[in-house]
Chains A and B, each alone.
Chain A
Amino acid sequence: MLAPITYIQPHATIRRPRRLSVEGEVLVSEGDQVHSGDVIARANLAAEHMMLDATRALGLNPERASKMIQRNVGEKVDAGAIIAGRRGVGARQLRSPAKGTIAAISEGQILLQVSDERAELHARVPGEVIDVEAGRGVVIECVCAWVQGVWGNGRVADGILHLVGNGAEQILTADQIDMSLRGAILLAGHCGQRQALELAAQVPIRGLILGSLTTRLLPIAEKVPYPILVMEGFGTGPMNADAFTLFSDHKQAQTTLNAQRTDPISGERPEVIIPLKDAGRPPQPIELQTFRVGQNVRLLNGEYKGELGEIVSLLPASTLYASGLRAPGAEVELASGQATTIPLANLELLG
């Protein structure tokens, strides 16, 4: 069975395709270095339009009205400019009610683009542009320390990584947040306090990495203006030991917190990227793996949720669990030395 993988890598090469949803304009070139907040492409989809009806204005049927349109798609017009009709005193005319651009014409009806708002595509990850697809997007490569999370609130920011307290179990509370943390990306084991999230927004911090988040705080976490990434899931558990160790090795490092939403189709997941300067380019991680004895795994739920261990043996589909369910599984030796039997469905490989 193919195994899901969560990556916690001290030294990785990651590549991130960034594409516009529709054709637009790419603003960077191959070889360019980009930051997470850079606009790398934009498209014209967010514009507003006005519909002008030449059939009504001229009192003609669509076919005849179409012939009277004097403008072409893409043409810019000023307010009051004649769009359709004959020139001359007393002639019925359709004039533009605003300054804009003719965006589309069909059956005697004209769409005038009146705003120039554009959809912008941000890099979201720092690194080098290694490929450009004209009009659509780029691929960005980054050599970094890299950790994937399981939930993000959709935002992205850069900042200096700051560990709150000393351990993976550290609970973030409002009294630990002050103005000295302005601009920092905070890291803690857990947060269950609404005031802490709100105070962090007032400081403001640049981002928050948590092992777990109290489920009831989810609506607040969705609203705060800074990115939040959760490593293990919702509830009260600590951050897993491997991730915490990696973060501890990068205290005060410039960090990108890309708390994007998980998309199972594209494979996008929230992630923490700590760029490594002057480091070699290790190969990209192997993504297709099956469960095997000796692999390091993370437990996804139940009593040992978030704990790490090693697969000692694989077990058949008839294996019975405490829930009463039967499923293929594995005997896992936890970091504490304790052994337990877990369904494969409740394990993720650590990449």
Chain B
Amino acid sequence: MSESNGKPSLSLVSLEIGSVNTRAQFFDSVEGRYRFLAAGEAHSTVGSPAFDLNVGVLDALTQLQETTGRQLLSDRGLLISTDPEDTIGVNAVTTTFSGGTPLKVVTAGLLDGVSLKSVNKLVNTSYSHIVETFGLNDRRSPENIIDAICQHLPDLIVLAGGTNRGASRSVIRLANYLALALNLIPEKQRPAVLFVGNENLQEEIDNLLGSLTELHLVHNIRPSLDQESSAPAEARLADIYFSIQSRKLGGLEQLRDLSAGHLHPGANGFGRVIRFLSTVIDAPKGMLGVDIGASSITVASAFAGELEMRVYAGLGVGRGLTGMIAETHLQQITRWLPFDVSDDFVLDYLYNKPLFPHSLPATPEELAVEQAAARQAMRLAIGKSLPLFPADAIYPLPGTVPWFDRILVSGSAVTRAPRLEQSLLMILDAIQPVGITTIILDQNNLASSVGASAEIDPLMAVQVLESNAFVNLGTIISPVGAARSGSPILRIQMLRDGQKEPVVEIKEGGFSVLPLAPGKVADLYIHPLQNVNIGLGPGRGGWVRRVVGGVFGVVIDGRGRPVQVPTSFNRRQETLEAWHNALSGM
């Protein structure tokens, strides 16, 4: 029997169901440590014509079985065994889900900056669209608000308001608007209501709304003005999400049974990984995760275990391109293209891709457009997330992301790039990190599954995260300041295996690479010039200890922030190629 940390180790299949692809990922113990071993992938069958998620799941499992040579399936489906020594089937299953149409949600709260802000933030951690929001200060008449609710026909209404010793009449007034709206909607189509407000009003809210619809009462999301407590509401929201999706999508209920309840929204699994990784990082630096999907992007940041997450449903690189295009000037995409293609070529690709979201770029030019679009989609999501990052984090430059110690990126638009330097450039161009950051590529798109599997065996999550399933692309040093292009901004000396290496002078503009093999450790002495900031303060440098090498070693991103790309094609091509070549060693 294989053991991990004294416990018998489990074999596990994690099913990851997105709007376009369904993956079956297999984890097992190898030489006493959990490893990701293989994956099968198929089209998701969320909707027509199969109308059953399990068709795609079976397809992915069949592929996985063929790849591993391990018998996973019988004529009754996936074989589940309770014996860790079994060499057929698996011991456990988890499922993460991000397919399906986002929920239509109405939010209501008392004050815009307090309960309404908290409740909107809560809903934005799920695959949802807020279709209507109202509070006490809404200038519309009550009947207009009620008519708007009815016309949207939401899946869910989330009501917040009042601290536990605070407002009650105003909350009841809002609840009464909801009662009137629910009365107007035929019983079978009434949205569920989640009440996350003043806990002392739960009985009254129950009397008012409980007989009209499915009502969920959980702890107050704002128990006091200066305190936010969203964890219970997030957990209940995930339950409600699956409850609603199960009524709409065939096969989800069976998947919940198959997974013995270990069914999570994909974003929640992803967020759990980011939160965990942040706990091993010294504050005030944090951990950032970006998961770019076909129909949504998740941005999760965590500082010392405090997670902030937001799901941008409708923003992505498949059907989500429509949402991205609506918020983008074409030039924000074409600036990343090293090819001389017409704007019409780019537009055609961007508008056709949502029609065939499962399709792959067919030519290098199409690949470049898709990667440019992925940059812009991530950049939009990061831009929208800036208010979520804590004010007391380190900001070497105002208006940018704070200093993240590590950045983990998941999602096939980035991870399936034919060359790793393409993945790294997409990440750096989109996020434009500051300070000193390690970039981790989730090349097998495992993060959500690993987060979900932590519930079954936390050790599995830890050991898989430590394994080479996640690729350390390198440590990126991103000095910011006002230096002129071509002028020296840093002097760096590497201390490796007790040996000092020659001092390297870094100039503003472009990339410089200091080789340091993956897993190798070195110390760096960094001396900023011209008052540039590497995260330690303007002009401040010193020893940076225990820098771990990655695929690209140590990369100095001397392009400044924000990254500027020349507008004329010839200069743009020259610049983009130079950046690419600097990383690829050409």
Chain A residues at the B interface, C-beta cutoff of 8 Å: 1-2, 4-5, 21-23, 45-51, 73, 103-107, 109, 111, 150-151, 214-216, 218, 233-235, 262-268, 287-288, 300-303, 321-327, 342-343, 345-346, 348
Once bound together, how far apart are the Cα atoms of A245 and B249, in whole Å?
A: 37
**B49 part of interface (Cβ distance < 8 Å):** yes
Chain B residues whose CB sits within 8 angstroms of the CB of A23 once the complex forms: 186, 188-189
Complex partner residue of B416 from A233, A263, A265, A325, CB under 8 angstroms: A325
Chain B positions 268 through 290: 1 when the CB is less than 8 Å from some CB of chain A, otherwise 0: 00000000000000000000000
**B203 part of interface (Cβ distance < 8 Å):** no
One of B349-357, B423-431, B440-448 contacting the partner: B349-357
**B418 part of interface (Cβ distance < 8 Å):** yes
The verdict on A323 contacting B208 (CB below 8 Å), with A104-B183, A264-B48, A301-B356 known, is: no
Chain A residues whose CB sits within 8 angstroms of the CB of B367 once the complex forms: 323-325
**B341 part of interface (Cβ distance < 8 Å):** no
- The 10 A-B pairs with the shortest beta carbon distances in the complex, nearest first, are A267-B48, A302-B362, A324-B418, A104-B183, A287-B49, A265-B47, A23-B186, A235-B348, A106-B179, A215-B347
Contact B355 A266, beta carbon cutoff 8 Å: no
The contact sample of 22 A-B pairs, CB cut-off 8 A, is A2-B45, A5-B49, A23-B189, A45-B151, A51-B180, A107-B176, A111-B180, A111-B184, A233-B352, A264-B19, A265-B249, A267-B47, A301-B359, A303-B363, A323-B360, A325-B360, A325-B367, A325-B418, A326-B418, A343-B359, A346-B359, A346-B360
Once bound together, how far apart are the Cα atoms of A57 and B186, in whole Å?
A: 29
Contact A22 B348, beta carbon cutoff 8 Å: no
One of B142-150, B488-496, B501-509, B530-538 contacting the partner: B142-150
A286 to chain B, nearest CB (A): 9
Identify the closest chain A residue to B248 (Cβ): A265
Once bound together, how far apart are the Cα atoms of A91 and B464, in whole Å?
A: 76
Chain B residues whose CB sits within 8 angstroms of the CB of A107 once the complex forms: 172, 176, 179, 208
Complex partner residue of B49 from A216, A267, A348, CB under 8 angstroms: A267
B142-176 at interface with A (beta carbon < 8 Å): 142-143, 146-147, 150-151, 153, 172, 176
**B56 part of interface (Cβ distance < 8 Å):** yes
Chain B residues whose CB sits within 8 angstroms of the CB of A265 once the complex forms: 46-48, 100-101, 248-249
Chain B residues at the A interface, C-beta cutoff of 8 Å: 19, 42-43, 45-50, 55-56, 59, 100-101, 141-143, 146-147, 150-151, 153, 172, 176, 179-180, 183-186, 188-189, 208, 248-249, 319, 344, 347-349, 351-352, 355-356, 358-364, 366-367, 416, 418-419
The verdict on A216 contacting B358 (CB below 8 Å), with A22-B185, A107-B208 known, is: no
Contact A345 B347, beta carbon cutoff 8 Å: no
Once bound together, how far apart are the Cα atoms of A49 and B151, in whole Å?
A: 12
Q: With a 10 A CB-CB cut-off, give which of A262, A264, A348 has the most chain B CB atoms.
A: A264
Complex partner residue of A111 from B19, B100, B146, CB under 8 angstroms: B146
Identify the closest chain A residue to B355 (Cβ): A150
Contact B351 A104, beta carbon cutoff 8 Å: no
Chain B residues whose CB sits within 8 angstroms of the CB of A214 once the complex forms: 344
Once bound together, how far apart are the Cα atoms of A43 and B453, in whole Å?
A: 46
Contact A51 B143, beta carbon cutoff 8 Å: yes
Chain A residues whose CB sits within 8 angstroms of the CB of B349 once the complex forms: 301
Chain B residues whose CB sits within 8 angstroms of the CB of A105 once the complex forms: 183
B128 to chain A, nearest CB (A): 16
Contact A321 B42, beta carbon cutoff 8 Å: no
Contact B186 A22, beta carbon cutoff 8 Å: yes
Complex partner residue of A51 from B43, B142, B179, B356, CB under 8 angstroms: B142
Contact B418 A300, beta carbon cutoff 8 Å: no
Once bound together, how far apart are the Cα atoms of A2 and B47, in whole Å?
A: 13
Chain B residues whose CB sits within 8 angstroms of the CB of A218 once the complex forms: 351
Q: With a 10 A CB-CB cut-off, give which of B59, B172, B319, B355 has the most chain A CB atoms.
A: B355
Q: With a 10 A CB-CB cut-off, give which of A46, A214, A288, A345 has the most chain B CB atoms.
A: A345
B272 to chain A, nearest CB (A): 28
B197 to chain A, nearest CB (A): 17
B410 to chain A, nearest CB (A): 18
Contact A266 B49, beta carbon cutoff 8 Å: no
Contact B352 A301, beta carbon cutoff 8 Å: yes
Contact A264 B46, beta carbon cutoff 8 Å: yes
Chain B residues whose CB sits within 8 angstroms of the CB of A151 once the complex forms: 355
Given contacts A234-B351, A322-B362, 9 further A-B contacts (CB under 8 A): A22-B186, A46-B151, A218-B351, A287-B50, A301-B352, A323-B361, A323-B362, A323-B363, A325-B361
B537 to chain A, nearest CB (A): 42
Identify the closest chain A residue to B67 (Cβ): A317
Contact A346 B186, beta carbon cutoff 8 Å: no
Q: With a 10 A CB-CB cut-off, give which of A107, A288, A346 has the most chain B CB atoms.
A: A107
Chain B residues whose CB sits within 8 angstroms of the CB of A301 once the complex forms: 349, 352, 356, 359, 361-362, 366
Once bound together, how far apart are the Cα atoms of A109 and B176, in whole Å?
A: 8
Chain B residues whose CB sits within 8 angstroms of the CB of A263 once the complex forms: 47
Chain B residues whose CB sits within 8 angstroms of the CB of A103 once the complex forms: 183-184
A177 to chain B, nearest CB (A): 24
A78 to chain B, nearest CB (A): 19
A236 to chain B, nearest CB (A): 8
B271 to chain A, nearest CB (A): 25
Contact B360 A345, beta carbon cutoff 8 Å: yes
Chain A residues whose CB sits within 8 angstroms of the CB of B419 once the complex forms: 324
Chain B residues whose CB sits within 8 angstroms of the CB of A73 once the complex forms: 183
The verdict on A49 contacting B47 (CB below 8 Å), with A301-B352, A323-B363 known, is: no
Once bound together, how far apart are the Cα atoms of A1 and B364, in whole Å?
A: 25
Once bound together, how far apart are the Cα atoms of A73 and B182, in whole Å?
A: 13
B34 to chain A, nearest CB (A): 25
Identify the closest chain B residue to A268 (Cβ): B48
Once bound together, how far apart are the Cα atoms of A264 and B45, in whole Å?
A: 10
Once bound together, how far apart are the Cα atoms of A327 and B419, in whole Å?
A: 15
Complex partner residue of A109 from B19, B180, B347, B363, CB under 8 angstroms: B180
The verdict on A51 contacting B141 (CB below 8 Å), with A215-B348, A215-B351 known, is: yes
Q: With a 10 A CB-CB cut-off, give which of A103, A151, A324 has the most chain B CB atoms.
A: A324
Chain A residues whose CB sits within 8 angstroms of the CB of B180 once the complex forms: 51, 104, 106, 109, 111
